Structure 1
Amino acid sequence: MQRIAKIAVALLFFVVLCLFGNWGALASQYPLSQVLDDPTPVNFMQFGYSLAIDGERAVVGAPGGCFGCLPGRYPQPEQVIVWDVTTGSVLRTFEGGTDTSGAFGASVAINGFHVLIGAPRNGPYGQRVGRAFLFDSETGDLLHTFDDPTPTDGGDHGNSFDFFGNSVAMDEKYVLIGAPSDDTNGDSVGQAHLFDITTGDLLRTFDDPTPTTVDLFGHSVALDGGRVLIGAPNDQTNGPYVGQAHLFDATTGNLLHTFDDPTVTSRDQFGASVSMDGDRILVGAPYDDTSGPNVGQVHLFDALTGMLIRTFDDPTPYVEDNFGGAVTLEGSNVLVGRWLSRTWPNHNPGELGRRFYSMRPMAVCSMISMIFLKGVQVHGP
């Protein structure tokens, strides 16, 4: 059968995008800024599976494509590559070691010279609790290895798949790591853990305040200004797999607010992606059906009051676009990714797009940097 490997590229565009405007027409008018090609392309490597940018540095994960396979069945490197986005040059490559099913690079974060890498299946086969690693991107030194502080036995599944490292975030003081399949509070309810970035010490464990079975609390995480935002996309408080997101105080651990899906449809997975900047919170619901089956939505909230500010709809909706599969909030710019975009110019059935739109919450247009991850079809068993 054919598998899709996200082998190819992160394309950086500068575009002016009017809210709900014709993105495709505008994008074609602006020159390509940079192409980041996989320097060592291998089938199933999944280059571009994760991505983070800070200033002039980009971090791209290539965690390998067979997350559930027996070790060695599809051997390929697991890598995370640090790029200079102005020149397109590779600054450093981090290797995942000998565990070729550990998903090293499934999640990444960057802050200054610090690079945080999640490996949610790292560990002996059948006990893949997960790990995360903090590196110095200048020297390449490993600064800390973060282990799951509450490894569980796998609950009804029989294997210890906490997926610690499925999501990561950091700032100057803290490292935040999600373990969405942790069974401490029930089958795959999930947890998230806060560490000191200097010492590596565990500071606090965040538990799901509204636990239901298979909530996947910790599937997405964000960290900003002493506050922690954690998504639980399978939470069933408001219906089957509708989802929630929860805001905590990083110092006290107190729950500040629970964000509910404002436009509930079936299995929205509100909280599959989260981002936070100052007093604004962004939550993706990539399976929302408001604009069509699994088209998706994104919601912007006030972090202080919890009030909904704006809902963003897919400007070019198509069935199963999963608009909101990835979100980032930076100042007045909202970046929204679509997992399965079918409206990219010259699209063909062998491509799956991950496209990022800009929608300013308080204005109509903005100049932004666009990122497009283009999947290339490869063949395998």
Structure 2
Amino acid sequence: MVSRRALIRAFGVSVPAGLAGCNIFTNGGRDEVATPTRTATPTATLPPPTDGELSPSTRSETRTETTTDISSLTEPAAAGVTEEAGTPALTPAPSGTVDDFGRAVALSADAAVVLAESDGAYVFEADGDWRLITVLTPDDQENFGGYGTSAAMVGEEVVLGGPGAGSEGGAVYLFARDDGQWRQRHQFVPNEDRYDFGRSVAFDGQRVVVGDNNNPTTMESWSGSAYVFGRDGTNWTQEAALGSDAENLFGTAVAVAGDTVLVGAPYAESDGQETGAVFVYEQADGEWLQQMMLTPDDPVDDGLFGQAVALDGDTAVVGAPGDGGSSAYVFEQTETGWTRRARLTATDADSGDDFGRSVAYTDGLAVLGAPDTGESGHAYVFRAADDWTGTRRLVPKNPNQDAEFGFVVALHDTTALVGSPVFRAASPAYLFDL
């Protein structure tokens, strides 16, 4: 019988050195991705809820947590790598068996969101110490639909994806803090049928991008889509539906910054190998057009390049956690295209450790998760100022031995939030000051 972790790893649908040569990546006649022509139509905006406490979303349960001494779970750090053991910072206390607390996380200056798959989105705020404020759930159902949740956050707004939510095929929700209360402000639904809408989300404050690929338990489709929504005041309009007929899990990961969108397709073919790819789209004259396809110049079959993507300004970081050699790649946009600047690896992570399963990047600082490293997972910190040489390893203190520390990561300035989910057990999320 295939284990749940093996299934997640095999299909990778939610969700990570040395300096490398500089190569420009273009389409090169590979998988053609068409942008369907559609008339932009506004999606319905939900009316704001009435004022008052969100008491229906606040849980009170009894919590039991199993921890194991860190020395029995963590291999010694490699020479030249410093290690920091984080103290549990965010917990669903008081709570009982919270299923997969930390399967998705998001972070801003003074707020953090941690999703538990069958429970809801726990909101924490920083006021001296971090404290639990409320638990968010959609207005039309009890939770976000189980496995495959996603999250992205800017300021006092958070976008939460639930591929099992909504009446059919998934839904994505925007929540905002208003007068100290978190309320649902919008529900995103595409202008066509979908499979797992909300498998991945990206948000830059003005645009939301939603990935929709396949259901790993039924394998309804290996192809996927990515939907771009733009904001005009309080109204949201679907600007584009990006996609391909190729069975490449297009939409597994998405990222957005202004007029640039990245879409990961970890099973895309390149030069006859299933190496994975990231498709780059840019908006011009109101249309979203594919500009090029990023691929590694040292491709390996089943490399899962594009399993995770992050974008900030003109720099992108792409995770490739496949068994062929777990790694991540840094790309920089130039006047002539995108150039690969570095390949990131962890000297103490093996090819099967899922290094690059999750990626967060901002302003020259990258954090990459390796949830299968050791017994409980690791995360690694890389800096552009250090020529992308990793010198810091993040680990959980007193972890649950079944945790997947590093399954998801989030960054705001120099603060990192690392999820450490455990199936049907309690496990905290961790904050690190980098």
Do they superpose with TM above 0.5?
Answer: yes
User: What's the % identity of the aligned pairs?
Assistant: 22
Return the match for 2:121 from 67, 75, 80. Answer: 80
Structure number with the bigger relative contact order (C-alpha 8 A, sep ≥ 6) is 2
Q: Which runs of 5+ in 1 are unaligned?
A: 10-18, 65-77, 153-161, 291-295, 343-348
Identify the residue that residue 274 of structure 1 maps to in structure 2: 309
Return the match for 1:303 from 333, 346, 370. Answer: 333
Q: What's the secondary structure of 1:231's corresponding residue?
A: strand
Asked if structure 2 preserves the Cα contact closer than 8 Å seen for 1:80 and 1:94, the reply is: yes
Distance 2:416 2:221 in 1: 38
Distance 1:137 1:33, change over 3 A: farther
Return the match for 2:384 from 348, 361, 378. Answer: 361
Q: What's the secondary structure of 2:341's corresponding residue?
A: strand
Distance 2:274 2:390 in 1: 34
Distance 1:8 1:360, change over 3 A: farther
Deviation at 1:262, TM superposition (A): 2.3
One-letter amino acid of the structure 2 residue matched with residue 360 of structure 1? R
Q: What's the secondary structure of 2:198's corresponding residue?
A: coil
One-letter amino acid of the structure 1 residue matched with residue 302 of structure 2? R
Asked if structure 2 preserves the Cα contact closer than 8 Å seen for 1:280 and 1:302, the reply is: yes
Asked if structure 1 preserves the Cα contact closer than 8 Å seen for 2:122 and 2:134, the reply is: yes
Is it true that 1:325 corresponds to 2:365 in the alignment? no
Deviations 1:60-91 (A, max 9, x none): 11113xxxxxxxxxxxxx21012125512013
One-letter amino acid of the structure 2 residue matched with residue 88 of structure 1? W
RMSD: 3.2
Within 5 Å, give how 1:41-190 maps onto structure 2. 41-43=95-97, 45-64=99-118, 78-85=119-126, 87-96=129-138, 98=141, 102-103=145-146, 106-123=149-166, 128-138=168-178, 139-152=181-194, 162-181=195-214, 187-190=221-224
Asked if structure 1 preserves the Cα contact closer than 8 Å seen for 2:108 and 2:155, the reply is: yes
Deviation at 1:241, TM superposition (A): 3.4
Deviation at 1:299, TM superposition (A): 0.4
Return the match for 2:83 from 10, 14, 26. Answer: 26
Deviation at 1:365, TM superposition (A): 7.5
Is it true that 1:247 corresponds to 2:280 in the alignment? yes
Distance 1:246 1:274 in 2: 11
Identify the residue that residue 251 of structure 2 maps to in structure 1: 218
One-letter amino acid of the structure 2 residue matched with residue 203 of structure 1? E
Q: Which runs of 5+ in 2 are unaligned?
A: 6-63, 67-76, 393-413, 426-434
Is it true that 1:334 corresponds to 2:366 in the alignment? yes
Identify the residue that residue 312 of structure 1 maps to in structure 2: 344
Distance 1:51 1:117 in 2: 10
Equivalenced residue count is: 320
Return the match for 1:287 from 302, 322, 325. Answer: 322
Deviations 1:135-163 (A, max 9, x none): 113432221111132215xxxxxxxxx11
Distance 1:194 1:20 in 2: 42
Deviations 1:255-278 (A, max 9, x none): 222101222112111100000111
Within 5 Å, give how 1:196-215 maps onto structure 2. 196-197=230-231, 198-208=234-244, 211-213=245-247, 215=248
Which moved further from structure 2: 307-316 or 139-148? 139-148
Deviations 1:215-271 (A, max 9, x none): 111110111132111101111244453211011114530222210122211211110
Q: What's the secondary structure of 2:261's corresponding residue?
A: strand
Distance 2:221 2:317 in 1: 27
Distance 1:370 1:175, change over 3 A: closer
Distance 2:92 2:148 in 1: 14
Query: After TM superposition, where is structure 1 displaced by more than 3 Å over at least 4 residues in a row?
Result: 1-4, 19-23, 40-44, 96-101, 237-241, 364-379
Q: What's the secondary structure of 1:229's corresponding residue?
A: strand
Asked if structure 2 preserves the Cα contact closer than 8 Å seen for 1:288 and 1:297, the reply is: no
Distance 1:297 1:255 in 2: 25
Deviation at 1:45, TM superposition (A): 1.2
